């Protein structure tokens, strides 16, 4: 239900203690807070109120060129430092998150419309990921390989790739930026970071501020703000970076990959998803509904790994729909800065319009609203739809909203076929009291990640994270991201004289 309380007024983000002395209306290049060279700006919008709460620069091609040039010049000296010196900076930045925790929680609510639950989840993700990244500086050594040639020693040495370009999205901006920035720096790389224009603060400028205070030398982290179509294109289509890390839509990801490949940079992409939550007839419905509620409605469903489709066996379908709808009706919608709010606003009008159109077109095709379905401003009630088929718009597309389409299936093979009837393959979940059966279903689904007797929203800093198909290329976290942010060098030593055939 909608919270009838008065929405809080937009707060002055410049007054937050995390704010740089120069203000948020600057970007960060070579350790300095500066305006864009052409003085263009774009507003920061509070999705709860629709008010502009500030503005950030729109970086030009010249600004991006300068950021990459500075990063390229600063990187060799950073890579040459002992790992403990690099790691100490990342560790200090992590400590500062706790120091500024209250202001960060407020900023999550203002800039993203994030509830306090979501904000705390994201901050924990960042802390854990940074902690794992700190260890990478000591684990990036290569090793030795036996040789087929007598008297030869083979050394496999890992080295940083150099400069990493990072383009991050608005939904989990603090985490999805930092999961590339922190390991890149710990491993001896430098970074040019371009956050989403809808999350320029948490996705970029806050991170610059944390590392500035943590003592990161100038030039190693440069943050350029602006639109994706302009600044983002400059960042992805540049000759300097060796890796382009992008998280966002599949459509934009294809263009980013094309840009990166043209410059022989490695594209590391985490893209869209159409994730299923499969509930068999022998599932524990308490656990399945709990997982379905959390996986569909956390952060308004604005997560690439949110549940997009609930596939439920026909024998328990009616009960599942009834129980999920009851849970959805209990959730409170309103100002995310209020402690008791479960669901905040959609990030912007275009996202809101797209979600509503998918729901309304599916209703016209026969879907039935069991809970929610009302809209107010940028808010959408948690909505449960029954009588959905797998080809309806709300099921066939990534809806990215607080929407739970529930689709019946008759047997495991039908569930598997429906689950795989998509170009995406990011996350998923399966509920059954028969773990062997659940594992067989999980093994048959084409996805990078799947969780048994849980839900789709899982990310652990020490476990590889990523998808298949249109959900991306490569993996984040731990050894997987270390592989992408370092390159191997083969050094051989011929210790004994070698006989040659010529």
Catalytic residue selected from 111, 122, 303, 304: 304
Contact 111, 46 (CB under 8 A): yes
Distance of alpha carbon 301 from alpha carbon 118, whole angstroms? 11
Distance of alpha carbon 269 from alpha carbon 241, whole angstroms? 15
Which stretch of DSSP H or E encloses residue 482?
helix 478-485
Catalytic residue selected from 111, 134, 270, 484: 270
Distance of alpha carbon 491 from alpha carbon 473, whole angstroms? 29
SS3 408: strand
Phi, psi of 425 (to 5 degrees): -160, 70
Record the tokens describing residue 281, joined without a space: 């007839």
Contact 46, 110 (CB under 8 A): yes
Distance of alpha carbon 335 from alpha carbon 327, whole angstroms? 20
Provide the CB-side half-sphere exposure for 12 (13 A, CA). 4
User: Which residues make Cβ contacts (< 8 Å) with residue 480, sequence separation at least 6?
Assistant: 464, 465, 466, 474
Distance of alpha carbon 108 from alpha carbon 106, whole angstroms? 5
Neighbour-count burial for 423-455, b at 16+ CB within 10 Å, e otherwise: ebbbbbbbbbeeeeebeebbebbbbbbbbbbbb
Residue 440 annotated in active site:
no
Residue 134 annotated in active site:
no
Task: Kindly list the catalytic residues.
Answer: 270, 304
């Amino acid at each position: 239900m909608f919270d009838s309380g008065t929405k809080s007024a937009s707060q002055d983000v410049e007054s937050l203690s995390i704010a740089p002395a120069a203000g948020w209306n600057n970007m960060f290049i070579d350790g300095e807070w500066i305006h864009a060279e052409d003085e263009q700006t774009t507003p920061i919008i509070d999705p709860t109120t629709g008010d502009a709460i500030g503005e950030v620069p729109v970086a030009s091609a010249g600004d991006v060129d300068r950021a990459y040039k500075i990063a390229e010049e600063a990187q060799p000296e950073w890579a040459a430092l002992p790992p403990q010196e690099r790691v100490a900076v990342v560790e200090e930045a992590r400590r500062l998150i706790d120091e500024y925790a209250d202001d960060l929680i407020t900023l999550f609510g203002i800039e993203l419309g994030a509830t306090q639950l979501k904000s705390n989840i994201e901050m924990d993700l960042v802390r854990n990921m940074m902690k794992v990244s700190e260890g990478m500086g000591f684990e990036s050594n290569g090793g030795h390989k036996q040789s087929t040639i007598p008297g030869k020693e083979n050394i496999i040495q890992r080295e940083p790739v150099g400069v990493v370009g990072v383009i991050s999205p608005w939904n989990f901006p603090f985490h999805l930026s930092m999961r590339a920035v922190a390991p890149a720096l710990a491993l001896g790389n430098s970074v040019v970071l371009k956050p989403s224009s809808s999350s320029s603060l948490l996705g970029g400028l806050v991170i610059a501020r944390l590392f500035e205070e943590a003592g990161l030398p100038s030039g190693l982290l440069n943050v350029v703000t602006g639109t994706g179509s302009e600044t983002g294109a400059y960042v992805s289509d540049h000759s300097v970076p060796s890796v382009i890390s992008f998280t966002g839509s599949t459509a934009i990801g294809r263009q980013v990959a094309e840009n990166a490949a043209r410059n022989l940079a490695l594209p590391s992409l985490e893209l869209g998803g159409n994730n299923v939550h499969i509930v068999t007839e022998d599932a524990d419905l308490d656990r399945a509904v709990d997982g379905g509620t959390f996986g569909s409605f956390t952060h308004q469903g604005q997560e690439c790994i949110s549940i997009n489709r609930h596939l439920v066996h026909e024998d328990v379908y009616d009960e599942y729909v009834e129980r999920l709808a009851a849970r959805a009706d209990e959730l409170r919608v309103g100002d995310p800065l209020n402690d008791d709010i479960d669901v905040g606003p959609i990030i912007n009008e275009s996202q809101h319009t797209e979600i509503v159109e998918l729901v309304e077109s599916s209703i016209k095709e026969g879907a039935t609203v069991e809970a929610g379905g009302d809209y107010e401003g940028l808010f959408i009630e948690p909505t449960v739809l029954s009588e959905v088929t797998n080809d309806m718009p709300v099921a066939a597309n990534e809806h990215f909203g607080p929407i739970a389409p529930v689709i019946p299936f008759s047997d495991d093979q039908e569930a598997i076929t429906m689950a795989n009837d998509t170009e995406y393959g990011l996350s998923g979940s399966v509920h059954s009291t028969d773990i062997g059966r659940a594992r067989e279903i999980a093994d048959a689904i084409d996805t990078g990640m799947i969780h048994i007797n849980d839900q789709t929203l899982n990310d652990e800093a020490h476990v590889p994270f990523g998808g298949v198909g249109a959900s991306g290329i490569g993996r984040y976290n731990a050894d997987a991201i270390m592989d992408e942010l370092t390159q191997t060098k083969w050094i051989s030593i011929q210790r004994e004289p070698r006989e040659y055939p010529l």
